[in-house]
Structure formats: C-alpha cells, structure tokens
Chain A
Amino acid sequence: MILARPMIRAAAATGLSLFAALPAWAQDVATQAASMPNPGNNAWMMTATVLVLLMILPGLALFYGGLTRAKNMLATMTQIGAVAALAMLIWVTYGYGLAFGPEGNAFISWGKFFLSGVTPDSTAATFTSEVISEYVFISFQMTFAAITIALVLGGVVERMKFSAVLVFAAVWLTIVYFPIAHMVWEGRGLFFTMGALDFAGGTVVHINAGVSALVAAIMLGKRKGYPNEPMPPHSLTLTMVGTGLLWVGWFGFNAGSALEANGSAALAMINTFVATAAAGLAWMATERVVGHKGSALGFCSGIISGLVAITPAAGNSGPFGAIVLGAVASVVCFVFVARVKPALGYDDSLDAFGIHGIGGMVGAIGTAIVYAPSLGGPGGADYAIGGQIVTQVSAVAATVVVSAIGTAIAITIAKALTGLRVAPDVELEGLDLGEHGERAYN
C-alpha cells in the first residue's frame, strides 16, 4: 500500500499483496499471526522516523533561520516548529485516515480517524512479505507531513503572521498534502497505479512544497524593500549547521523509505551520500564558472538541491547515476535561483521553489533515466526510459496543479481569518519582537 518505489517491477504483485496485508489488524487473524514485525526492521524504522524529526528541528529551523535577517530568526524557527507540531496532531486525528485509510479511491481515503482500531499489534505492509508495526509506519509518515508544511514556509518567512501560518498549515495539509500523499503512496492512489517512480517523496514532499511556497509567496507579496534593500543571510554559520543536520536526517527520510533495513535501504543510503556530495561541489563549480567565488552558501544550497533531487531516485538509481543526477540538479537550481528568479521578480524568500520545486522536478524526471539498468539503475531488462519519462512528467504536472490550486485556497482562507500579513511597522521592526515578543540575540 505504501511507497511508490517498486511499482515498475511489482505493481501487479505487490499491489495485491499490500492490499491483503493492510487490514490485517481487523479481519485476518491468520495473516496477522503469520506476519509479525521483524524487530530489526522495526528498530530501523523507529530510528529513521526520529532522523526525519531531526531534519525539521533543529535542521530546517537552523538552515532557514540562518538565511533570514537577525530580526526574524526566532519567528522563522518558531513557525517551523509550530507547524510541524500542528501537523503531528492533525495527522493522528484525520490525516492518516485521509492518506492511508482502509476505504478510498484514487484521490483520497478515509477511515481510521483518531487512529481507531490501531493497536500495538497492528501492522503495515512493506514492499516484501515483511510487515512493520503500524504505529511506527504512522509515525514515520507523520514526520513527512510535518516537514513538508515546514518546507513551504521558506517562501513566506519574514512577513506572514504567525496566526496566518497556523491556519494556512491546517488547511493546506488537509486539501493538498493528504490527497497527494494518498495519490503517490497508497496502493489505490492515482500516481501509484500510473506507475510513477518516487522512492522517498520527491513529488509529495519537494515539488509539492516548492510549488506551494511559490504560489503562497506570490499571493503574500514581496517583503518590504525587496529587491532594492540588501537582505543578506544573518548567519551562514547556522545555515551550515542546519545543512549538516538536514543531510544526516535525510538518511532516515530516504533509506527509511524502503520501510525495511534491507538492500534497497542500503542503495538509498549510498546514493544519499554521493548525489549530495556531487551536488555540493557542482554548485560551487558553477559559481566559479560564472565568475563568482565558490561560497559557503553555494555549498549548502548545492547540498540541499542534491538531497532533493536524489529523493525520488534514492533506491531507484545506481550510485553513479545518482552522482550525475545530483550534479545536474545542482547546476539547474543555481541557474534558476541566481538568474531566473531575479528576472521574474517574485520574492520566494529562501528559495523554497528554486531548490525544492526545481530540484524536485529535475529529480522526478531524472529518476526515469537513472532507473535504467544500462545506466546502473535497478530497473528490469525490459525497462523503457521514454514511457517512464511520460509517466513521471504526468505525475509532476498533476502535482503542480493540485499544489497550486490548493495553496491558493488555503492562503485565501488564512487571509480571510487572520489578515495574512503583519503590519508594516512589525515587518520593519522584525517579526521576533512583533509576533513573539522576544529577540534572538541580546
């Protein structure tokens, strides 16, 4: 039922067996007894889950916080923490049911609201005959919902009200995230049945967050003074610390998406090293080529774009395919962030779209290429790149449409309820004081 990784090889067989295993807690005592969670797999998935939490707090909070101005440091980090916490509560209340509930269709599911019926003995299927504890699976998927809404904030920081952030997050998770997570990762989901390859959430998490950040940033308007006033990052030291924590946590995100401590997780792990390494250096090399100095922020930006790009391909690529994919994504993101964005003039403050959106798209489409066995990927001998690219592009396009429309609705609701944007004097003074009554540095 869950992740989209093995769809090409196993769409028919796995789809059925996953279905059979899903409602095991309620119906089939014999099946349940036969499929006890392997403690090794459970232990790895618990570890992977808390690694994803590490990506949010403090990873993303420091990465984003360092990029903002000092007067908005706490507001940025607090928004990230608060939406992540809100997402966790919504997830167990109805999010899990909407994404992975027992009843459903290609677009949404329902049931298991308030986690009804889930017990310590409940299990969730992996991609083999193994199962893991359902509470672990629920927790793992919970952290994905939490980080995705936190990533969206990169487009809107330094000017959005805290109350508006919370309203937006609740609506956005409900009408954008849960349906897309269902469509990509659940056995009946639209993209899952299409056979789209998305190992760890390039579409659900990164393209989704990036596009949503772009739409939200445009609807919210530019920060006062952008782009005429200088708005340099206030602490690239903290951004570098956050980058490191994101990279470490990303092993939980990518290798955890195998749902077992197996060879597929091992492949995702090595790819998460090498694609990222290539991307960090490729961004700095690109800076040199265009006449800049190789910069710390460039290195960090490259790291993130590589992590984003390898996410859909983590278990769907050989290590050298991953290196090429990471490097290409890094160069494309650089061109987009440093050249295209200024020309277009919108204010995606921390480049959530430029890196997560664009890097996610490069990764999603590139996955179709690096999956090929001739390039070292794990695809079968009869794998056809061309047809898969069409599938990947369709999944990306559909995600872009759902994200954009859903975000427009969520921002409109947040604006009606809260006013959306802080007053001009609060923006000038900083959101730390204006919205939270404290300063990051005294």
Chain B
Amino acid sequence: MKLIMAIIKPFKLDDVRDALSAVGIAGMTVSEVKGFGRQKGQTEIYRGAEYSTNMVPKIKLEVVCDDALASRVVEAIQQAANSGAIGDGKIFVLDVAHAVRIRTGETGETAL
C-alpha cells in the first residue's frame, strides 16, 4: 500500500477530487495548511503600511491506495492540480505498513 500526500492550490481541490474519483479512489483526507516554497508569501498593505505574510494557504490531500493504483493516482493529481505556475505544489509517495478498518477490523488492502 502507498500513502500519497499532495500539497496543492486550494482552488484545484475539486478538479483533483474528480480526477481521483475517475481512477477509482473512494476516499481521501483533506486539510487546510499553510506553508511556503518558491512562491514565497503575499504582501498586504493597510493605509500604506506593508506587511508581508510569508505563509501561503494550501490544501494537503492524503490518499492511501494499493500499490498497483499508486502511479495512476499520482498522475491524476499531477495533471488535475497543474496550473503551470509556481506554487502548484508537490506530491509525495510513502510506503504504508498496515491498515485497519475500525468498524469491521478488516486489515490490509481490504480495509481501504
């Protein structure tokens, strides 16, 4: 099993969700996060006083899937979240050792 963690632009979330549904992903976890990379922050100006915020709001998306599906999930996110500008985000793939469905106690890929 793989954990696919993607940091994407907030307005791309719906596109990514649709793309993942199309490849057969039935669930995911989404959080609102802040961070910075090449995109740096934003400048706010109030009556001439400039404040630069060095954190940009992003969405963190976590999906766990079986090994066979992982490359298609990565490809779907990469294409759906791509706007061609800096700050589009990153995708990380991690190995997952174990999974349990709490309600039934099923384990491994059947728990996904």
List A residues at the B interface (Cβ < 8 Å): 227, 230-233, 292-293, 295, 297-298, 301, 334, 337-339, 342, 351
Residues from chain B with a CB closer than 8 A to the CB of A293 are 45
**Residue contact B51 to A338, C-beta cutoff 8 Å:** no
User: Nearest Cβ in chain A — how far from B53, in angstroms?
Assistant: 8
Closest to B53 in A: A230
Residues from chain A with a CB closer than 8 A to the CB of B103 are none
User: Nearest Cβ in chain B — how far from A284, in angstroms?
Assistant: 12
In the complex, A334 Cα to B46 Cα: how many Å?
Answer: 11
In the complex, A436 Cα to B45 Cα: how many Å?
Answer: 31
Tell me, yes or no, whether B49 is within 8 Å of chain A by CB.
yes
In the complex, A158 Cα to B45 Cα: how many Å?
Answer: 20
In the complex, A78 Cα to B102 Cα: how many Å?
Answer: 52
User: Nearest Cβ in chain A — how far from B13, in angstroms?
Assistant: 25
Question: A292-B45, A337-B48 provided; 19 other pairs, C-beta below 8 A?
Answer: A227-B49, A230-B51, A232-B44, A232-B46, A233-B46, A292-B48, A293-B45, A297-B46, A297-B47, A298-B47, A301-B47, A334-B48, A338-B47, A338-B48, A338-B49, A339-B48, A342-B48, A342-B49, A351-B47
Question: Can you list 6 A-B contacts (CB < 8 A)?
Answer: A292-B45, A301-B47, A338-B47, A338-B48, A338-B49, A342-B49
Question: Residues of B within 8 Å of A, CB-based: how many?
Answer: 7
**Residue contact A337 to B47, C-beta cutoff 8 Å:** yes
Q: How many A-B residue pairs have CB under 8 A?
A: 26
User: Nearest Cβ in chain B — how far from A305, in angstroms?
Assistant: 11
**Residue contact B51 to A232, C-beta cutoff 8 Å:** yes
- List of 6 A-B pairs having minimum Cβ-Cβ separation, nearest first: A338-B48, A230-B51, A337-B47, A292-B45, A232-B46, A297-B46
Most buried by B among A233, A293, A338: A338
Residues from chain B with a CB closer than 8 A to the CB of A231 are 49
Residues from chain B with a CB closer than 8 A to the CB of A292 are 45, 48
In the complex, A337 Cα to B46 Cα: how many Å?
Answer: 10
Closest to B47 in A: A337
User: Nearest Cβ in chain B — how far from A42, in angstroms?
Assistant: 41
User: Nearest Cβ in chain B — how far from A1, in angstroms?
Assistant: 40
Most buried by A among B47, B48, B49: B47
User: Nearest Cβ in chain B — how far from A231, in angstroms?
Assistant: 8
Residues from chain A with a CB closer than 8 A to the CB of B51 are 230, 232
User: Nearest Cβ in chain B — how far from A426, in angstroms?
Assistant: 24
In the complex, A351 Cα to B44 Cα: how many Å?
Answer: 18
In the complex, A297 Cα to B46 Cα: how many Å?
Answer: 7
Residues from chain A with a CB closer than 8 A to the CB of B44 are 232
B55-70 CB mask vs A (1 if < 8 Å, else 0) is 0000000000000000
Residues from chain A with a CB closer than 8 A to the CB of B49 are 227, 231, 338, 342
Residues from chain A with a CB closer than 8 A to the CB of B47 are 297-298, 301, 337-338, 351
In the complex, A298 Cα to B44 Cα: how many Å?
Answer: 13
User: Nearest Cβ in chain B — how far from A339, in angstroms?
Assistant: 7
Residues from chain B with a CB closer than 8 A to the CB of A337 are 47-48
In the complex, A292 Cα to B45 Cα: how many Å?
Answer: 8
Closest to A227 in B: B49
In the complex, A337 Cα to B45 Cα: how many Å?
Answer: 12
Residues from chain B with a CB closer than 8 A to the CB of A338 are 47-49
B34-51 CB mask vs A (1 if < 8 Å, else 0) is 000000000011111101
